[in-house]
Amino acid sequence: MALKTAEEYVESLRKLDMKIWMFGEKVENYVDNPIIRPSINSVAKIHELAGDERYSDLMTTKSSLTGEVINRFTHLHQSTDDLVRKVQMLRLMGQKTACCFQRCVGMDAINAIDSVTFEIDQKKGTNYHERFRRYVRYVQENDLVVDGAMTDPKGDRSLRPSQQPDPDMYVHVVKQNADGIIVRGAKAHQTGAINSQEICIMPTITMTEEDKDYAVSFALPSDAPGIFYIYGRQSCDTRKLEGSQIDVGNARYGGQEALIIFEDVFVPWERVFMCREYEFSGMLVERFAGYHRQSYGGCKVGVGDVLIGAAAEIARYNGVAKASHIKDKIIEMIHLNETLYCCGIACSSQGHRTASGTYLIDLLLANVCKQNVTRFPYEIARLAEDIAGGLMVTMPSEKDFRHPEIGPYIEKYLKGVASVPTEHRMRMLRLIENLTLGCAAVGYRTESMHGAGSPQAQRIMISRQANLDHKRKLARVIAGIEKED
């Protein structure tokens, strides 16, 4: 059975020759770095739950390629039930980590590439799909973490990739020979990249014939020669260096983003899944985006569950849990959160089989799901901040709280309900701060806006998928202007 334990996953990272920069310095031991380690813990939690019989039905499944039990994050969806279980799994992971657990993009990438390579081969007579299935089998058999890399820096957004003054603003093919291709460029905002053993690259927009060198998809080990990473800053990230569990809010877990640089990187042909087939770039972008927008109906809901729980708990600590307006605010938070979940389940249950056999979500409903995610978490966060009160952002540090001289004053004056220890109140306030304003805000509030594409990207897809002509005809028939078919 190809399943790593959490410990085996962490140890596998130590064997990688990753080139990582952070705060202007090269990171030599990133696995034990206090800023990076919480994000590794989040991915390790996936492996832990996969080995727990209480959660194995969600976290694992039988491979359609090998017949063996695999981690669901490496699975090619074979039914609408698989799509639904994916959303349920992501909600569970959000509940267990209260942050971004970083494996969704890789899962969404392999499913999108699988169906698109099949259709490229049908039209072009290539053998990308066979190559890709071999690759997925390798990932499944070794329980590898895959980073799905789509977003390019883009440079001047008013210009096509081939029109950019600097051609490296989008990842592109610079050379090819009998052995493979050489690529150059960068991928931005890469969630979980340095916690992954594999990097799977896709184009970021629909390409034209003039942009064909940018229509490229491939996969490489994350420590392949020519690849290096620049770690992304997060709000309050250096609190992790202080050794305070209270002040970081989330005592163990965190997310992570990086800028990936590809400096003339060689890719062997067996790892190339698209090379200049620009006609299929839009299909790949659309399908990946659809899968990833579905994901937000699970992961953000799970984190929302934690935030709602924290808001209800701090209301109790503050002595206001029975106030009618507090109850109403928490009900509204639940209503918004469950609405997001409904969208994730709906687009999954309405999915369909593609030509390759993998199942694709309903694209319209997936985009509606993500459009709601760009709004509802902001309101959920606002309500949580309202319930928490101003102390959330004015509270002294843990060092002050532990200080023998001034600590007793904090203990005395930051007391809420007498039966609740002051430290518990401080911990809960820091958790809410972390989820709404701090490091986890990247994986909850801000990522809700920009992850899987901007709000306008979803609105464009909603417009394309809505079949407005059909709706107009329905109105004409009902109004008696036209006869029903």
Q: For 41-55, what is the mean pLDDT?
A: 98
Identify whether 95 is part of a domain.
no
pLDDT of residue 440: 76
Kindly name the residue from 47, 60, 61, 104 that is annotated as catalytic: 104
Whether pLDDT at 441 is above 80: no
3-state secondary structure of 106: helix
Give the pTM: 0.96
Q: For 134-141, what is the mean pLDDT?
A: 98
Q: Which two tokens stand for residue 46?
A: 């996936």
**Cβ-Cβ contacts under 8 Å for 368 (sequence gap 6 or more):** 343, 347, 458, 462
Kindly name the residue from 292, 359, 374, 398 that is annotated as catalytic: 292
Is residue 7 flagged as an active site residue? no
DSSP state of 374: T
Identify whether 360 is part of a domain.
yes
Identify whether 3 is part of a domain.
no
Torsion of CA 155, 158, 162, 168, to 10 degrees: 0
pLDDT of residue 447: 87
Whether pLDDT at 475 is above 60: yes
Give the total number of structural domains in the chain.
1
Is residue 104 flagged as an active site residue? yes
**Residue 245 binned pLDDT confidence (cut-offs 50, 70, 90):** very high
Kindly name the residue from 214, 296, 341, 444 that is annotated as catalytic: 296
Q: Is 191 annotated as a binding residue?
A: yes
Give the structural domain span for 341.
284-473
What span, in angstroms and rounded, lies between the C-alpha atoms of 200 and 198? 7
Residues 431, 436, 439: CA angle, nearest 5 degrees: 75
Identify whether 61 is part of a domain.
no
pLDDT of residue 478: 97
Whether pLDDT at 396 is above 70: yes
pLDDT of residue 321: 98
Kindly name the residue from 99, 100, 343, 347 that is annotated as catalytic: 100
> How buried is residue 320: exposed, middle or buried, by Cβ count under 10 Å (0-12/13-18/19+)?
middle
* Residue 317 and residue 425 in contact, taking contact as beta carbons nearer than 8 Å: yes
Is residue 191 flagged as an active site residue? yes
What span, in angstroms and rounded, lies between the C-alpha atoms of 403 and 248? 18
* Residue 242 and residue 401 in contact, taking contact as beta carbons nearer than 8 Å: no
Q: Which two tokens stand for residue 64?
A: 């359609």
**Residue 201 binned pLDDT confidence (cut-offs 50, 70, 90):** very high
- Reported as a single tens digit per residue, the pLDDT across 312-346 is 999 999 999 999 999 999 999 999 999 999 999 99
Q: Which two tokens stand for residue 418?
A: 């007498």
Is residue 450 flagged as an active site residue? no
Identify whether 110 is part of a domain.
no
Q: For 425-447, what is the mean pLDDT?
A: 90
Torsion of CA 163, 164, 167, 169, to 10 degrees: -130
Is residue 257 flagged as an active site residue? yes
- Reported as a single tens digit per residue, the pLDDT across 155-200 is 999 999 999 999 999 999 999 999 999 999 999 999 999 999 999 9
Is residue 296 flagged as an active site residue? yes
Kindly name the residue from 198, 257, 286, 313 that is annotated as catalytic: 257
In terms of phi and psi (left: phi > 0; alpha: psi -120 to 50; beta: otherwise), the region of 191 is beta
Kindly name the residue from 60, 97, 191, 358 that is annotated as catalytic: 191
**Residue 443 binned pLDDT confidence (cut-offs 50, 70, 90):** confident
3-state secondary structure of 227: strand
Whether pLDDT at 295 is above 70: yes
What span, in angstroms and rounded, lies between the C-alpha atoms of 314 and 284? 44
pLDDT of residue 445: 85
pLDDT of residue 446: 85
Q: Which two tokens stand for residue 218?
A: 């491939």
Q: Which two tokens stand for residue 361?
A: 């979500």
pLDDT of residue 1: 54
What span, in angstroms and rounded, lies between the C-alpha atoms of 100 and 352? 28
What span, in angstroms and rounded, lies between the C-alpha atoms of 25 and 36? 14
Q: Which amino acid is at 368?
A: V
Kindly name the residue from 99, 200, 275, 299 that is annotated as catalytic: 299
Q: Which amino acid is at 350?
A: Q
Identify whether 300 is part of a domain.
yes
* Residue 93 and residue 296 in contact, taking contact as beta carbons nearer than 8 Å: no
Q: Cβ atoms within 10 A of the Cβ of 27, count?
A: 18
Identify whether 99 is part of a domain.
no
Q: For 36-49, what is the mean pLDDT?
A: 98
Residues 243, 246, 248: CA angle, nearest 5 degrees: 70
Whether pLDDT at 300 is above 80: yes
Identify whether 179 is part of a domain.
no
What span, in angstroms and rounded, lies between the C-alpha atoms of 9 and 46? 10
What span, in angstroms and rounded, lies between the C-alpha atoms of 208 and 214? 9
* Residue 308 and residue 98 in contact, taking contact as beta carbons nearer than 8 Å: no
Concatenate the DSSP letters of all residues of 157-174 into one string: TTS-GGG-SSGGGS-EEE
CATH of the domain at 315: 1.20.140.10
Q: For 10-20, what is the mean pLDDT?
A: 98
Q: Where are the beta strands (DSSP E) in 222-350?
A: 227-231, 258-268, 272-275
What's the chain's average pLDDT? 97
